[in-house]
Amino acid sequence: MSAARELDTLNGYQQISSNQDQVVARGTERRACETEGTMAYAQRSALEAALLDNHGNIALAAIQLRIAKITVYRLINAYDICYVEIKARKFAS
């Protein structure tokens, strides 16, 4: 690898930089939430369980998890949780 191009990992993102351009790609965070035994997997599983327990109600899920409601929204985005499917399960049961 040349000196002009380097690969750094910063806060779960792989950052590839060169003199001409800079490309940032999401890498490790998505794979980590799918790998059993990681903290990301545990967070995603707990969030999905809380949303299912509370029939898709984000406010009640946040209370159950003892985190802020905005954090629930951020985790839903970060882990690509399909919130529509969880709300649909509410009416199926």
DSSP 3-state of 2: coil
Q: Are 71 and 62 in contact (CB under 8 A)?
A: yes
> What is the band of 66 on the pLDDT scale with cuts at 50, 70, 90?
very high
Query: Do 47 and 77 belong to one domain?
Result: yes
Host domain of residue 6: 1-32
- Whether 8 shows a pLDDT value over 90: the answer reads no
Confidence of residue 25 (pLDDT cuts 50, 70, 90): very low
pLDDT for position 33: 79
State both tokens at 91: 């009416």
Q: Is the pLDDT score of 48 beyond 70? A: yes
57 shares a domain with 90: yes
Confidence (pTM): 0.62
What phi and psi values does residue 26 have, to the nearest 5 degrees?
A: -70, 130
Q: Is residue 1 within 8 Å of residue 13, measured between CB atoms?
A: no
Distances (CA, A) of 40 to 9, 19, 62: 17, 33, 17
52 and 14 in a single domain? The answer is: no
Domain count, the chain: 2
pLDDT at 49: 95
Whether residues 24 and 60 share a domain: the answer is no
Residue 64 and residue 43 share a domain: yes
